[in-house]
Structure formats: C-alpha cells, structure tokens
Amino acid sequence: MMILNMFVFIIMYIMGNLIFVSKHKHLLIILLSLEFIVLGMFFFLLIFLMFLDYNMYMLMVFLVFSVCEGSLGLSILVSLIRTHGNDYFQSFNML
C-alpha cells in the first residue's frame, strides 16, 4: 500500500512539473500547476506521517504556508491583470 501511495505522489509531482515547464504562456495555468505540486507534497506528507504514527501538526503548518503561497499568487495575478489587461507573460517586459 505504501508503494502505491508513493507511486501516486511521484506521478502527481512529475505531472505538475511537466505542466509548469510546458505551459508557460499564462500565469493562471502556472499557478494551478504549482498548487497541484503542493497538493502532491501534502499527500506525501500525510502518508509519510501516518506511516510513522507521528503528530499531524506539521501538516497544519504546511497547509498554512501553502494557503499563503496561493493567496500571494492570486494577488500577483490580479495586479497583473489590472495593469496589463491579461495574464500573458509576453505582454509585459520582465526588466
């Protein structure tokens, strides 16, 4: 059972990274792929801590940081749409 859970985590992590690397046109898709990677890491921590019979307080800290990361990404997305009108990376200068 632990091997199957690790396989699911590895597949989630690889698919999230592939989407992150390949779909670099829109900021929203990049943010969704990052959240998918964070969800895979949360799943891995959940299975790992349940396997060790450890307290789940680390999961709560991880969830707090992932929610803060998501809200920061959404605020960047909203400010980008307000200033440039879309979420294309090609529409603004990175310098």
Say which DSSP state 91 is in.
T
89 lies in some domain: no
**23-79: pLDDT as tens digits:** 677 888 888 888 999 998 898 888 888 888 888 888 899 999 999 999 998 998 888
CATH code, domain with 21:
1.10.287
pLDDT at 18 over 80: yes
54 lies in some domain: yes
Kindly tell me the number of DSSP H helices and DSSP E strands found in the chain. 3, 0
In terms of residue numbers, what domain contains 40? Answer: 7-84
Distance CA 48, CA 65 (A): 19
28 lies in some domain: yes
Its pTM stands at 0.80
Number of domains observed in the structure of the chain: 1
